[in-house]
Amino acid sequence: MVAALIDIYLDLAPVFLVINIFFAIGIVFLERKNPTAALGWILLLFVIPILGFVMYIIFGQNFYKKRIFRLKKEEDLYFQEILKRQKEELVNREILLPDSRLERFRPMISMLLENAMGYLTLDNSVGIFISGDKKFSSLLSEIRSAKHHIHMEYYIIRNDPLGAEIIDALTKKAREGVEVRLLVDALGGRAWSPGMLKEFKAAGGKVARFFPSLIPFLNLRVNYRNHRKIVIIDGKTGYIGGFNIGEEYLGKGPLGPWRDSALKITGTAALALQVRFIMDWNYASKDDIGFSEVYFPESESSGGVPVQIVSGGPDTRWNPVKESYLKLITLAQQTIYIQSPYFIPDESVLDALRIAALSGVDVRIIIPVKPDHPFVYWSSYSYIGDLLEAGVRAYTYDHGFIHAKTIVVDGLAGSVGSANWDVRSFRLNFEANAVIYHPECAGELHSIFLKDLTGSSEITLQKYRSRPAWLKIKESVSRLFSPLL
């Protein structure tokens, strides 16, 4: 049997090798991939022709990459005029930040305005969630109080008790006449049963799937997934963060207790989330909705937290999410605290963190102790090893699985959202983060990080260097292909 399989492989390999030559030409001349990723794919295509072919079809191809989120001309001109006016106000110091220590972040605010249409909103109240119980309790309460519309966008909505509870609450609001739109990524929502949304749709709820497969129940489009997790209710309240909808996000999955981060935002930043949702919805759905005033009510918030909503993905020329991380790192003077379940940074992020640590900034990173994707986990561990030599301190979170995607610098500014610190979030997925400039809110993120340290184990340089040979082999193999993830 084994001999027969080997013969089949040897017979087919030359055929796939010829096909892979054309893929390699496309990688070099058409796709403009990152050079490291391009070399990795070419190596895989020629060393393991059949497996390389299959992996490239699933993970590597750019056949569907395009700039898909373009505002209509009139809307684009409208938003460009608003952004132009705010840029002038920033330069002329007409926009007052709530603390003089935040002035150093003014260039970052301008950068995100220019590069990400990241309008700075100043009137927000922000609540921080680190447990699924409190986050979903708050979300369900807001859903039940909705009067006009509920716009919900998630990478994953499980067909489990929590997913059923959320869908049931949405269905009841749809029956009451509230406009309810539910957008889910087609890959993340692939496990939905046919009847899961039957009552929801019958009640008037609307559903769209992001980037569905051409073949039912078989989605090979692993790249360009909508990884965002945002909710907007009545244009007044928004949620953003790392939680998907499923029982594991309540700590009831195989990874045990779940530590994540999300924000509830009341104020004008909710309208920035609304813009993001409408653009995503109009791409994924035939039910095109415009930028009507009914979705953009006047803010009633009296909060004072400055927030920018930053979106990034393969539809942007540069990636504002990664650049927001880089800018926060370069502006730090005392501390940089990072949490991410997947830490596979590119050279620019590695260099920035190394330079910050060598400059005397206290740089600390928390990753999980339990891998949900072992290949990614061992890649992360190898990059952590590089940074330890520069003075970065790293930890594994021991009280379950940490899924938070956060950075906070100097207890003054920070970011919470869906974007991991990896190549996939930087280049291949559609992500959304909220950047906060506020001593109180950022100080809370700072305190949460320090509390998490008490439940973590430090990866010292000595400990890392004394790791066993089998672990070094895992790291080396995983890291070799990390640019392809």
Is pLDDT above 70 for 74?
no
Least confident range of 57-66, 91-100, 351-360, 370-379? 57-66
pLDDT for 42? 59
DSSP output for 142-164: HHHH-SSEEEEEES-B-SSHHHH
Which one of 236, 322, 405, 438 is the catalytic residue? 405
430 Cβ partners below 8 Å, 6+ apart? 224, 225, 226, 227, 228, 280, 311, 312, 313, 314, 315
Active site residue 410: yes
Task: Based on the residue annotation, tell me whether 227 is a catalytic residue of this protein.
Answer: yes
| 47: confidence class by pLDDT, cuts 50, 70, 90 | low
Enumerate domains of the chain plus CATH numbers: 2-60 (no CATH), 124-303 (3.30.870.10), 320-484 (3.30.870.10)
Closest of 443, 337, 344 to residue 385, by C-alpha: 344
Residue of 135, 173, 227, 474 with catalytic role: 227
Confidence of residue 396 (pLDDT cuts 50, 70, 90): very high
Q: Is 149 a catalytic residue?
A: no
CA dihedral 212, 217, 222, 225 (to 10 degrees): 40
* Per-residue model confidence as pLDDT tens digits over 85-125: 888 888 888 899 999 999 999 999 999 998 888 999 999 99
Q: What pLDDT, on the 0 to 100 scale, is given for residue 21? A: 60
Structure tokens at 434: 């909220």
End-to-end CA distance of the chain: 33
Of 33, 135, 173, 403, the active-site residue reads: 403
* 84: Cβ contacts below 8 Å, ≥ 6 apart: none
pLDDT single digits (tens) 268-282? 999 999 999 999 999
Give residue for tokens 């330079």: 355
Question: Of the residues 135, 151, 229, 438, which is catalytic?
Answer: 229
Do residues 332 and 411 touch, judged by C-beta distance below 8 A?
A: no
Label residue 67 by pLDDT band (50, 70, 90).
very low
The single residue listed with the structure tokens 């193999």 is 477
**Partners of 176 in the beta sheet?**
none
Most confident of 212-221, 323-332, 370-379: 323-332
The tens digit of pLDDT for each residue in 121-164 reads 999 999 999 999 999 999 999 999 999 999 999 999 999 999 99
Cα pseudo-dihedral 369, 472, 422, 188, rounded to 10: -60
Q: Tell me which of 8-17, 174-183, 425-434, 449-458 is least confident.
A: 8-17
Active site residue 234: yes
pTM for this entry: 0.86
User: From CA 138, how far away is CA 191, in angstroms rounded?
Assistant: 26
List pLDDT tens digits, range 170-188.
999 999 999 999 999 998 8
Kindly name the residue from 260, 280, 346, 410 that is annotated as catalytic: 410
Per-residue pLDDT at 63? 43
Please state the rounded mean pLDDT for residues 1-24. Answer: 52
Which region among 215-219, 261-265, 422-426 has the lowest average model confidence (pLDDT)? 215-219
Helix H or strand E encompassing 111:
helix 106-116
Place of tokens 């004008």: 268
Pairing of strands 413-417, 406-409: antiparallel
Q: How far is CA 3 from CA 6, 9, 10, 12, 16, in A?
A: 5, 10, 11, 14, 20
Q: What is the helix (H) or strand (E) element at residue 386, kind and residue range? A: helix 374-388
Structure tokens at 113: 């305005």
Beta-carbon contacts of residue 333 (< 8 Å; ≥ 6 apart):
361, 410
Sequence-ordered list of residues with C-beta below 8 angstroms from that of 236, at least 6 positions apart, any chain? 266, 270, 297, 299, 300, 301
Residue 418 phi, psi dihedral angles, 5° rounding: -100, -10
For all residues of the chain together, what is the average pLDDT? 86
Binned at pLDDT 50, 70 and 90, residue 349 comes out as very high
Note the helical H segments in 176-253.
198-202
* Whole-angstrom distance, CA of residue 485 vs CA of residue 371: 15
Per-residue pLDDT at 484 exceeds 80: no
Q: CA distances (Å), 471 to each of 146, 365, 385, 387, in order?
A: 51, 20, 12, 18
